[in-house]
Amino acid sequence: MHTSSVVFNTKPVLAQIHANNCYFESRDSYKCSYFAANFRVQSKKPISWRPQRGRLTRPSYPVPVSTKTTGRRYSSQLNELIPQSRLADKCQQVTCFHASKRKQIDVNRFTSGFFVDKSTFHLPRHKLDYANVRQFDVPHATVGPEEPHAASTAWPDGIMEKEGLDLLESEVERKEFENFLRFELPSHPKLHRGQLKNGLRYLILPNKVPPNRFEAHMEVHVGSIDEEDDEQGIAHMIEHVAFLGSKKREKLLGTGARSNAYTDFHHTVFHIHSPTSTKDSEGDLVPVVLDALNEIAFHPKFLASRVEKERRAILSELQMMNTIEYRVDCQLLQHLHSENKLSKRFPIGLEEQIKKWDADKIRKFHERWYFPANATLYIVGDIDDISKTVNHIEAVFGQTGMESEVAASPTPSAFGAMASFLVPKLSVGLASGLSQERLSNSVESSKNFRKERHAIRPPVQHNWSLPGSYTDAKLPQIFQHELLQNFSINMFCKIPVNKVRTYGDLRNVLMKRIFLSALHFRINTRYQSSNPPFTSVELDHSDSGREGCTVTTLTVNAEPQNWENAIKVAVLEVRRLKEFGVTNGELARYLDALLKDSEQLAAMIDNVSSVDNLDFIMESDALGHTVMDQRQGHDSLVAVAGTVTLEEVNSIGAEVLEFISDYGKPSAPHPAAIVACVPKKVHIDGIGETDFKIEPEEIVDAIEAGLKEPIEAEPELDIPKELISSEQLQELRLKQNPSFIPVDQEKKTTKVYDEDTGIVQRRLSNGIPVNYKVNNFYILNKLKIFIVFGKFF
């Protein structure tokens, strides 16, 4: 079992659930912190490779390109599922409030300061009272949030039912409830935002972990998506030349600072992790770091010698990352985004073009896009004096770009790279694209801005998978390669990102996550004792700032000879969940688990690293979500949890799965793409190696077979609150009389302490070794226990 806030891995019978606010996401994950959900069911069969589109740590191309080492976003699975430490975020949001039969759930045991601190939530007192007054006890697992999530499913002690609008005692209360859902979520109380006269936006967040260090990230809102046909890879080239050619960055060597850079579809980021001061430095290192970022982003020297050096490095890099994983990922993105430039603007670029560019060509692209109004500076770390840091920013960056002002349209009012996906692509950059009238107006309204950033990031138009938009269905695409060993198919659905800014938005997120949590548990329990036709089934629903959309993906992996049955089973189970929804017990268990995870994160608010906070803020801003701290996130979740109903959970969750469960129906959302990645050769017992043959029509037939199979509703499971009572445990203790024996027979000591690791080693009288370590990472009064063959909290 692997811990991940957003990835739900299921190897034991009872699967884990995490609903974290994404503060512990791996630093280069590009999914939104709160709002992603990924569920995987894996059989015991090994698979050689499984792509993970747009997830995990900083990946190799076509995800962000780094000037330094580039990690992968794929996990190779041989006999074990590789751990994926991230939060993500990865659950989305939509739909309106439905006033129907309501089942409310109590959140009293999660004591929240939300309704006490009015400074972060501006509602009249009587409205707050309503939101907190009608609550019932939620059953909760006696073990921790990872497993087995054993919660009572009996309605009398758990969730209570009311008919119609009886629970809302009057029309006034109903309106108050709807008004409550429309109120904005509280913003992070310590996050300081500002903007210089030249358009540079900055965010500052004090954070003590690690102490005496800070993160400074310069995000320039330009990436491979902004390249013209003859510039493919030029943004990555500039990243290399600007970053590695900076003399001021080199002066930081020896101070304890670390630096790097990466390029993605939608942005280029230069970042420095530095101590706040050193013994050898005369004072604050913040202005020194900012000065280096200013030179890197806005004042690079495009020397011919540096260009040639980085050209060779990039061409070598291109050869190193040309793996089967990269090729598969390219195929998935090309078909998912076939209607726009995302399908053909991978950050690494094209070899034949990279070989041709001279310094002048590169400089012109830089002049077009690298200016303060098209950038955002993030500073997170052990910063005590906000005003002093602001003064440093103004002193270093204040005059950048002001010396060559060129009038342009006003910068969009929304902060950050917000994705307003229903607006056409806007012209960007040179003023020649504007009419004389517009140019004349912009001179008066925006004299301090050289150029404007895109109002939409990334600046592309998508063909959305919306209900009723079904046209002639595209046949599945097949990518066949001799390096592939197993069968894998991805069904994609693509919709606009729904920004999470209100309590109603957060409520929709919560209900969707509860609904989707059931799938992996069901498949795992139903097929665990049989010989399943799949090696893994994964349902991913997540926002992507880099792609500017929300993507739902059903991924099925199987051995080549079992591919048809694997698709059939996956479609059948998705259809069962969509048609019948979650049960009362599932609602109770998964809501309880999500709240527990949120509660634990809130308790660890002072242990979140600066880089995790920074990445979360950056991605949230890119998607347009409200940025909250961990405690606010938990309080807000508690505030809406008591209003969740079974009917609404099943209604909002069903919408996510319609592109699969209603495949082929005119009223259903059409899949954005269906892509199968298959081997060219397979080994068949008794025959040997033979060609693997598959046609798109056969894939459609397998999907339709899963749609036609008879299904029944999921039976309600009564899971006990505890596996053993306190009385039984005490009786066993008295009977067995456990004790510690010497760990080291020579020294006769029953306790050995390792100073390097802080681990204490002991041994029980039955011979079982016990190792433990005390730290302050986990929530107070919580004990985390690992046992061979399983894990408990």
The mean per-residue pLDDT over the stretch 366-394 comes to 97
pLDDT in tens, 177-216: 999 999 999 999 999 999 999 999 999 999 999 999 999 9
| Residue type (1 letter), 126 | H
Banded model confidence at residue 38, pLDDT cuts 50, 70, 90: low
Active site residues: 239, 310
- The tens digit of pLDDT for each residue in 409-439 reads 443 333 333 333 222 332 223 233 333 333 3
User: In this prediction, what percent of the chain has a pLDDT beyond 90?
Assistant: 56
pLDDT, greater one: 744 or 705: 705
- What does the pLDDT average to over 115-134? 31
Task: Name the more confident of 450 and 153.
Answer: 450
Region 661-687: mean pLDDT is: 92
Domain boundaries, the chain: 7-57+86-96+464-589+649-708, 192-402, 735-792
pLDDT above 70 for 408: no
- Determine the angle formed by the axes of helices 234-244 and 286-298, rounding to 10 degrees: 140
pLDDT of residue 282: 67
Q: What is the DSSP letter of 562?
A: G
- Prediction pTM value: 0.75
- Region 286-308: what's the mean pLDDT? 97
Q: Residue 521: its pLDDT value, please?
A: 84
> Residue 773's pLDDT is what?
87
Spell out the residues 6+ positions from residue 787 whose beta carbon is closer than 8 angstroms to its own.
none
pLDDT category at 683 given cuts 50, 70, 90 is confident
Check residues 384 and 748 and name the one with the higher pLDDT: 384
Q: What is the DSSP letter of 771?
A: E
Residue 303's pLDDT band (boundaries 50, 70, 90)?
A: very high
CB 442 within 8 A of CB 408: yes
Q: What residue type is 345 in one-letter code? A: R
Structure-model confidence comparison of residues 747 and 207, the more confident one? 207
Give 7-57+86-96+464-589+649-708's CATH code, choosing from 2.60.120, 1.10.10, 3.30.830, 1.10.1740: 3.30.830
What's the distance, Cα to Cα, between the start and end of the chain in Å? 12
Residue 537 pLDDT exceeds 90: yes
Residue 374: its pLDDT value, please?
Answer: 96
pLDDT exceeds 80 at position 4: no
Other Cβ atoms closer than 10 A to 101: 16
Please tell me the predicted confidence (pLDDT) of residue 404. Answer: 57
| Upstream peptide bond of 410 is cis (omega within 30 degrees of 0) | no
Radius of gyration of the CA atoms of the chain, in A:
27
* Rounded mean pLDDT, 142-168: 37
pLDDT exceeds 70 at position 165: no
Neighbours of 433 (CB within 10 A): 12
> 612 and 23 in contact (C-beta within 8 Å)?
yes
- Please tell me the least confidently modeled range out of 167-171, 320-324, 581-585: 167-171
DSSP secondary-structure letter at 451?
A: S
Fold matches, 7-57+86-96+464-589+649-708 and 192-402: yes
pLDDT in tens, 610-637: 999 999 999 999 999 999 999 999 999 9
Confidence of residue 451 (pLDDT cuts 50, 70, 90): low
- Region 6-32: mean pLDDT is 29
The yes-or-no verdict on residue 482 having pLDDT over 80 is: yes
Of 402, 395, 409, 477, the C-alpha closest to 444 is 409
Mean pLDDT of the chain, nearest integer: 76
Which residues make Cβ contacts (< 8 Å) with residue 22, sequence separation at least 6? 5, 6, 32, 33, 34, 36, 87, 88, 89, 90, 616, 619
More confident residue, 327 or 19: 327
Q: Provide the CATH number for the domain formed by 192-402 in this structure.
A: 3.30.830.10
pLDDT band at 674 (very low <50, low <70, confident <90, very high): very high
Per-residue pLDDT at 134: 35
83-92, 132-141, 374-383, 472-481, range with greatest mean pLDDT = 374-383
Asked if 466 contacts 494 with a C-beta cutoff of 8 angstroms, the reply is no
Q: d(Cα 536, Cα 486) in Å, to the nearest integer?
A: 11
pLDDT score of 281 more than 70:
no
- Tell me the percentage of the chain whose pLDDT exceeds 70: 69
What was the pLDDT predicted at 783?
A: 67
At 539 the pLDDT is 93
Confidence of residue 721 (pLDDT cuts 50, 70, 90): confident
* pLDDT of residue 142 exceeding 60: no
Helix (H) or strand (E) holding 613, with range, is helix 610-623
Can you give the pLDDT at residue 152? 31
The pLDDT tens digits of the residues spanning 40-81 come to 455 443 323 333 343 322 333 344 554 443 332 322 222 222
pLDDT of residue 471: 65
Task: Write the single-letter amino acid at 262.
Answer: Y
pLDDT at 418: 30
Q: Is 581 helix (H, G, I), strand (E, B) or coil?
A: coil
Q: What is the mean pLDDT of residues 477-506?
A: 97
Task: Write out the two tokens for 115.
Answer: 């309704």
Question: Residue 775: pLDDT band by 50, 70, 90 thresholds?
Answer: confident
- For residue 781, what pLDDT is reported? 56
| Residue 178 confidence (pLDDT) | 93
Determine contact, residues 579/661, Cβ cutoff 8 Å: yes
Of 167-171, 329-333, 714-718, least confident by mean pLDDT is: 167-171
pLDDT of residue 19: 30
pLDDT at 413 (0 to 100): 35
Instruction: Return the top range by mean pLDDT from 53-67, 129-143, 540-554.
Output: 540-554
Return the beta strands (E) in 11-133 as ranges: 31-42, 65-66, 102-104
pLDDT reading at 453 higher than 80: no
* 136 neighbors 106 (Cβ within 8 angstroms): yes
User: Which pLDDT value is given to residue 679?
Assistant: 97
Q: What is the pLDDT of residue 778?
A: 55
Q: Tell me the pLDDT band of 82, cut-offs 50, 70 and 90.
A: very low
Q: What is the pLDDT of residue 731?
A: 92
